């Protein structure tokens, strides 16, 4: 018995000696992923591998601190690479563990990433609730730089929320300016301050550009580029070069615009920003077309179609998953299911079409290699079927794709009726697709009576005569 007692004591000593060593190993891995230039030095794939290793070692060891640090790193990587499926997988576990450990900083970050995911799939009420909760949690963060950083990110995401849910440019600009102010409040000794100023100035610049304030937009965009010159992490250059490309198109400098867009594509690929690629490709194709380079315009359009199909598939996967795992509490908060740091997707595509006269390559004559004659891209039946499916599943995704298939519809409506609101234009899109009142009510989570009232107000704005049919009137645009 004495022998077995000694053996048991010796075993406990070995386990206890191993535990601190293993935790140091986990902490060492996490520290590598938290280094300032980790993304530019390692790349997101190696970052993900290290986070995965630290996560499973922590789980095996029962080391909650290591597991929580690994989980928030997962969310950060998935957010940076626009992986909504990954954010969906890890959000709940991160939030539960952060609350258990009373870690306000990680909790607020996890809630913000969770809100971003909900914005992407159109659950706007849930997104708003998560952002408000994240803001409340921030009050418990002692470190002022950490608090200002997360408030900066929350306000940026709130700007995305207003873009996706209502296309409310005034609210978008308000929250974008708030984000910029929080970035400016970070201490000058913080080595990342200029990067934060660059990112927030870029968002402000994009919104001002959309609003038509070209002069102020240029100031913020060029300021953003200047702040990023000496930073090894160049991810924000995607949005900066995209904006400079739009400005060049506005100035009819089409070759210069194509150069900016190509730079944006390069960095979007480098940092795996596929959602941005979806936005940039049509702009680059239009720049090539405007400079009579039809071969490259066709090539870029084909790349755009491939990545669009891929992103639509990923978005639908997450929508279906969240429908399956949605809790009763969440269902009470948000009864409408819908899919951009997405400020720049629908906003900039709409801007480029309205302000620079860019045509959609689907309906543009493009010279093909095999035939030395123009080929016209007609809207296909399968695209309309896909659009109908999106109307059922996802209001924002429907509206974005609608503008791609009917690129001049919104432009033509606004040219004749400039006072139409975003809500009016969305209703017009449903009418253009010939959806009836009951269907529109279902898609928008509204009552039939409410939709009828909206249609009545729309008739008044369009000055349609009582004997004239609304659907027929909309169809001519």
Most confident of the ranges 36-40, 99-103, 362-366 = 99-103
The answer to whether residues 39 and 80 touch, using CB atoms and an 8 Å cutoff, is yes
Cα-based distances in Å from 324 to 145, 318, 321, 331, 417: 38, 10, 5, 11, 42
* Residues forming CATH 1.10.10 domain(s) in the chain: 408-477
Shortest CA distance to 427 belongs to which of 396, 472, 458? Answer: 458
Q: What is the pLDDT of residue 416?
A: 86
Mean pLDDT for the stretch of residues 395-414: 79
CATH of domain 408-477: 1.10.10
Model confidence pLDDT, tens digit, residues 241-298: 998 998 888 888 999 999 999 999 999 888 888 778 877 888 888 888 888 888 888 8
Q: What is the pLDDT of residue 358?
A: 39
The three-state DSSP-derived secondary structure of 263-283 is HHHHHHHHCCCHHHHHHHHHH
Q: What is the pLDDT of residue 74?
A: 95
Model confidence pLDDT, tens digit, residues 189-219: 999 999 999 999 999 998 998 888 888 999 9
Q: What are phi and psi of 343, to 5 degrees?
A: -55, -35
Most confident of the ranges 106-120, 330-344, 457-471 = 106-120
Mean pLDDT for the stretch of residues 23-40: 90
The answer to whether residues 365 and 374 touch, using CB atoms and an 8 Å cutoff, is yes
Beta bridge partners of 374: 367
CATH of domain 16-115: 1.25.40.10
Per-residue pLDDT band for 186 (boundaries 50, 70, 90) equals very high
Q: What is the pLDDT of residue 366?
A: 36
pTM above 0.85, yes or no: no
Q: Which stretches of 211-361 are DSSP H helices?
A: 214-228, 237-250, 254-270, 274-290, 294-325, 328-333, 344-355
HSE-up of residue 172 (Cα within 13 Å, Cβ side) = 24
Burial 329-359 (b: 16+ CB within 10 A, else e): ebeeebeebbbbbbbbbbbbbbbbbbbbebb
Per-residue pLDDT band for 334 (boundaries 50, 70, 90) equals very low
* Residues forming CATH 1.25.40.10 domain(s) in the chain: 16-115
Per-residue pLDDT band for 107 (boundaries 50, 70, 90) equals very high
Within 10 angstroms of residue 89's Cβ, the number of other Cβ atoms is 16
H-run or E-run covering 376: strand 374-376
Model confidence pLDDT, tens digit, residues 32-86: 999 988 887 888 889 999 999 999 999 999 999 999 999 999 999 999 888 888 9
- Rounded CA gap, 237 and 187, in Å? 23
Q: What is the pLDDT of residue 428?
A: 92
């Amino acid at each position: 018995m004495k022998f077995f007692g000694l053996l048991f004591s010796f075993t406990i000593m070995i386990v206890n000696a191993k535990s601190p060593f293993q935790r140091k190993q986990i902490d060492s891995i996490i520290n590598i992923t938290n280094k300032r230039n980790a993304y530019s030095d390692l790349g997101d794939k190696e970052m993900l591998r290290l986070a995965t290793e630290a996560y499973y070692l922590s789980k095996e060891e029962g080391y909650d601190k290591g597991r929580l640090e690994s989980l928030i790193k997962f969310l950060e990587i998935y957010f940076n690479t626009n992986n909504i499926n990954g954010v969906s997988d890890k959000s709940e576990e991160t939030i539960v563990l952060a609350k258990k450990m009373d870690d306000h900083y990680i909790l607020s970050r996890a809630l913000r990433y969770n809100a971003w995911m909900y914005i992407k799939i159109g659950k706007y009420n849930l997104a708003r609730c998560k952002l408000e909760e994240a803001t409340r949690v921030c009050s418990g963060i002692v470190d002022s730089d950490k608090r200002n950083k997360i408030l900066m990110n929350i306000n940026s995401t709130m700007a995305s929320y207003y873009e996706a849910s209502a296309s409310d440019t005034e609210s978008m600009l308000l929250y974008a300016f708030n984000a910029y102010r929080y970035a400016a409040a970070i201490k000058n000794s913080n080595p990342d301050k200029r990067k934060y100023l660059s990112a927030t100035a870029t968002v402000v610049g994009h919104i001002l550009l959309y609003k038509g304030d070209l002069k102020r937009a240029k100031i913020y965009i060029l300021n953003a580029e200047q702040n990023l010159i000496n930073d090894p992490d160049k991810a924000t250059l995607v949005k900066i070069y995209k904006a400079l490309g739009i400005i060049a198109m506005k100035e009819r400098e089409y070759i210069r615009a194509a150069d900016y867009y190509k730079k944006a594509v390069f960095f979007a690929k480098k940092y795996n920003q596929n959602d941005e690629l979806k936005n940039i490709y049509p702009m680059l194709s239009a720049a090539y077309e405007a400079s009579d380079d039809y071969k490259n315009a066709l090539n870029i359009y084909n790349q755009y179609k491939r990545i669009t199909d891929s992103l639509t598939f990923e978005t639908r996967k997450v929508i279906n998953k969240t429908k399956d795992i949605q809790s009763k509490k969440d269902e009470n908060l948000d009864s409408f299911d819908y899919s951009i740091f997405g400020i720049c997707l629908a906003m900039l595509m709409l801007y480029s079409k309205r302000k620079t006269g860019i045509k959609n390559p689907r309906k543009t004559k493009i010279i093909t290699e095999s035939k030395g004659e123009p080929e016209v891209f007609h809207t296909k039946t399968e695209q309309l079927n896909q659009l109908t499916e999106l109307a059922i599943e996802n209001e924002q995704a429907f509206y974005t794709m609608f503008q791609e298939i009917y690129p001049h519809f919104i432009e033509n409506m606004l040219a004749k009726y400039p006072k139409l609101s975003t809500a009016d234009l969305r209703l017009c899109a449903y009418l253009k697709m010939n959806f009836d009142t009951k269907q529109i009510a279902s898609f928008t989570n509204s009552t039939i009576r409410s939709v009828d009232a909206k249609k009545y107000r729309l008739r008044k704005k369009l000055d349609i005569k009582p004997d004239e049919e609304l659907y027929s009137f909309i169809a001519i645009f």
